[in-house]
């Protein structure tokens, strides 16, 4: 059996891959593993449990709550809130564990379970592996030790979490948003109430779309993976700009007043300069992945800022930030981590910080985002090749060297084996789209020839 835990918790089709029995079993296993690790030492354990609005979240939440309480853990149910809100409340309430039920930007039939350690941080891989091991051994017949009487966990709703999280977001803003008209696309997801409330309290005039979750419409043609509705709404309402979240609101993408997309790289660049101005961008450094556009790197260099690049995935960005104490990092997809105020990517916080910069400077988002020029990027997937030989093929190395020589300092080549399929991704950036296409085509042919 493959590892249950992926890079972002356990995910799958709800009630097929991810069942109530699995949710209950994993929750009991998590309680036992954290107790053994000494997390609950000397006190009665508490967990914060939240979810996004998917219909399946209702029964999965019930299973998780039942599992934790049966293992002697008290549960605070915070209801429908973004993933970063559950992480924040886990830390703010001094809870021993946080659990979020969401499949983020995935389609409605999927769901997922994500555990947070004390402080609201992602669980270490080693603890996830132990939880999976304990879950598997008990699934195959080993009985649980169960508390009885007053030892069972108590469950209560914690409705104050909503206001507490919104107050936290407002509290960390450097300035108010008065005078801005902003369209928010909530993806019919977890931030449908939180985000409009936070932007309104901060002084913005808010127009919402995708803010009527019914359990079935999450991410359906809206949110950060489908920007067309937001682009149209921004232009129609004459708004200053628009913000789009995904289903669990850990991402943020934007649209300027003309309806043009502002991606995660551009958002990072704008926020980086704002943070440097306030002397809170530690080491004048931003962390991003190797998929960031070369235009982002060139823009930071021009502004005298450092870029540290990691493997693809916000977990690697976060690890690098924590290890070296950096304050800002993120991905092109709109996962932005502002570590002084959040332990994970927070789409609402990112959107608020972006809006604060527009309000503070009096410049349009289009003008601010122009600090970086996105270089044309061509991506070709080459299927049915031996991806394990990408690093060792001399023929391929020669083709890459030749491509890099042709592109010079204004272009970039990246060959990346897919993590899940037998294919190699060829990515080429160049100042000119025709040159990018031509070089990418030649490299794709070289990959087929060398690894086919």
CA 289 to each of CA 109, 307, 346: distance values in angstroms, whole numbers, following the listed order: 29, 10, 17
User: Are 180 and 147 in a shared domain?
Assistant: no
Over residues 174-198, the mean pLDDT reads 98
Range of the domain at 141: 10-159
Query: Is residue 116 pLDDT above 60, yes or no?
Result: yes
The reply to whether 250 sits in an annotated binding site is yes
195 is catalytic: no
The reply to whether 248 sits in an annotated binding site is yes
Assess if residue 32 is contained within a domain: yes
Assess if residue 117 is contained within a domain: yes
Domain count, the chain: 3
User: Are 169 and 153 in a shared domain?
Assistant: no
pLDDT, tens only, 264-287: 999 999 999 999 999 999 999 999
Instruction: Report which of 349, 351, 337, 252 is spatially closest to residue 287, judged by C-alpha positions.
Output: 337
User: Are 352 and 442 in a shared domain?
Assistant: no
Q: Beta strand 10-13 with 110-117: parallel, antiparallel or unpaired?
A: antiparallel
pLDDT, tens only, 160-180: 999 999 999 999 999 999 999
Assess if residue 57 is contained within a domain: yes
pTM across the whole model: 0.92
pLDDT of the residue at 2: 56
Report the distance separating Cα 185 and Cα 227, nearest Å.
Answer: 9
User: Are 190 and 255 in a shared domain?
Assistant: yes
- The CATH number of the domain holding residue 71 is 3.40.120.10
pLDDT of the residue at 177: 98
pLDDT, tens only, 305-331: 999 999 888 889 999 999 999 999 999
Assess if residue 3 is contained within a domain: no
The reply to whether 220 sits in an annotated binding site is no
Instruction: Report which of 162, 183, 167 is spatially closest to residue 79, judged by C-alpha positions.
Output: 162
The reply to whether 178 sits in an annotated binding site is no
pLDDT, tens only, 83-107: 999 999 999 999 999 999 999 999 9
Please count the other Cβ atoms lying within 10 Å of the Cβ belonging to residue 148.
7
User: Are 281 and 199 in a shared domain?
Assistant: yes
User: Are 110 and 174 in a shared domain?
Assistant: no
User: Are 383 and 365 in a shared domain?
Assistant: no
Given 159, 192, 216, which residue is the final one in a domain? 159
Q: Is 65 exposed, middle or buried (0-12, 13-18, 19+ CB in 10 A)?
A: buried
Read off the tokens for 349. Answer: 């916080």
- The CATH number of the domain holding residue 426 is 3.30.310.50
Buried residues in 174-202 as b, exposed as e (16+ CB within 10 A): eebbeebbbbbbbbbbbbbbbbbbbbbbb
pLDDT of the residue at 1: 43
User: Are 348 and 390 in a shared domain?
Assistant: no
Does residue 127 contact residue 117 with C-beta atoms inside 8 Å?
yes
Question: Annotated catalytic residue: which of 27, 102, 104, 333?
Answer: 104
User: Are 207 and 239 in a shared domain?
Assistant: yes
User: Are 344 and 387 in a shared domain?
Assistant: no
Confidence of residue 387 (pLDDT cuts 50, 70, 90): confident
User: Are 324 and 434 in a shared domain?
Assistant: no
pLDDT, tens only, 194-246: 999 999 999 999 999 999 999 999 999 999 999 999 999 999 999 999 999 99
Assess if residue 408 is contained within a domain: yes
From 16-25, 62-71, 271-280, 287-296, the region with the lowest mean pLDDT: 287-296
User: Are 40 and 134 in a shared domain?
Assistant: yes
Given 116, 144, 159, which residue is the final one in a domain? 159
Q: CB within 8 A of 326, min separation 6: which ones? A: 282, 283, 285, 286, 287, 308, 320, 339
CA 150 to each of CA 63, 71, 75, 284: distance values in angstroms, whole numbers, following the listed order: 21, 12, 14, 53
* Mean pLDDT value across the chain: 95
Read off the tokens for 86. Answer: 């559950």
How far from chain centre, in Å, is Cα 201?
A: 24
Q: Which helix (H) or strand (E) covers residue 27, if one does?
A: helix 20-36
Given 159, 177, 198, which residue is the final one in a domain? 159
User: What percent of the chain stands above pLDDT 90?
Assistant: 86
């Amino acid at each position: 059996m493959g590892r249950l835990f992926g890079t972002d918790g356990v995910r799958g089709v709800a009630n097929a891959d991810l069942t109530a029995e699995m949710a209950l079993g994993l929750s009991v296993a998590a309680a036992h593993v954290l107790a053994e690790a000494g997390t609950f030492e000397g006190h009665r354990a508490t967990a914060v449990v939240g979810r996004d609005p998917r219909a399946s979240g209702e029964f999965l939440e019930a299973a998780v709550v039942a599992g934790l309480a049966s293992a002697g853990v008290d549960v605070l149910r915070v209801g429908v809130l973004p993933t970063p809100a559950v992480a924040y409340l886990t830390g703010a309430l001094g809870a021993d564990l946080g659990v979020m039920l969401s499949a983020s930007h995935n389609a409605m039939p999927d769901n997922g379970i994500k555990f947070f350690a004390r402080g609201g941080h992602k669980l270490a891989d080693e603890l996830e592996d132990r939880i999976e091991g304990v879950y598997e051994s008990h699934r195959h017949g080993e009985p649980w030790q169960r508390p009885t009487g007053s030892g069972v966990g108590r469950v209560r709703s914690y409705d104050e979490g909503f206001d507490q999280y919104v107050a936290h977001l407002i509290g960390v803003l450097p300035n108010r948003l008065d005078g801005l008209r902003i369209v928010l696309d909530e993806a019919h997801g977890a931030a449908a109430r939180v985000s409009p409330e936070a932007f309104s309290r901060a002084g913005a005039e808010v127009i919402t779309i995708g803010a009527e979750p019914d359990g079935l419409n999450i991410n359906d043609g809206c949110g950060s993976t489908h920007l067309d509705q937001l682009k149209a709404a921004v232009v129609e309402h004459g708004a200053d700009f628009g913000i789009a979240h995904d289903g669990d609101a850990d991402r943020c993408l934007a649209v300027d007043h003309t309806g043009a997309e502002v991606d995660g790289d551009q958002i990072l660049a704008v926020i980086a300069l704002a943070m440097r101005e306030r002397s809170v961008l530690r080491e004048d450094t931003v962390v991003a992945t190797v998929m960031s556009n070369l235009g982002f790197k060139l823009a930071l260099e021009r502004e005298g800022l450092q870029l540290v690049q990691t493997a693809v995935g916000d977990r690697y960005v976060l690890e690098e930030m924590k290890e070296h104490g950096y304050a800002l990092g993120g991905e092109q997809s709109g996962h932005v981590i502002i570590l002084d105020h959040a332990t994970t990517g927070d789409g609402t916080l990112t959107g608020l910080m972006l809006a604060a910069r527009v309000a503070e400077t009096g410049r349009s988002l289009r003008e601010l985002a122009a600090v970086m020029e996105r270089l044309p990027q061509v991506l070709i997937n080459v299927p049915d090749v031996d991806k394990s030989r990408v690093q060792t093929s001399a023929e391929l190395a020669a083709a890459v060297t030749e491509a890099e020589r042709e592109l010079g300092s204004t272009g970039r080549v990246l060959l990346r084996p897919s993590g899940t399929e037998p294919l190699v991704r060829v990515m080429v950036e160049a100042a000119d789209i025709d040159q990018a296409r031509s070089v990418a085509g030649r490299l794709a042919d070289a990959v087929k020839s060398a690894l086919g």
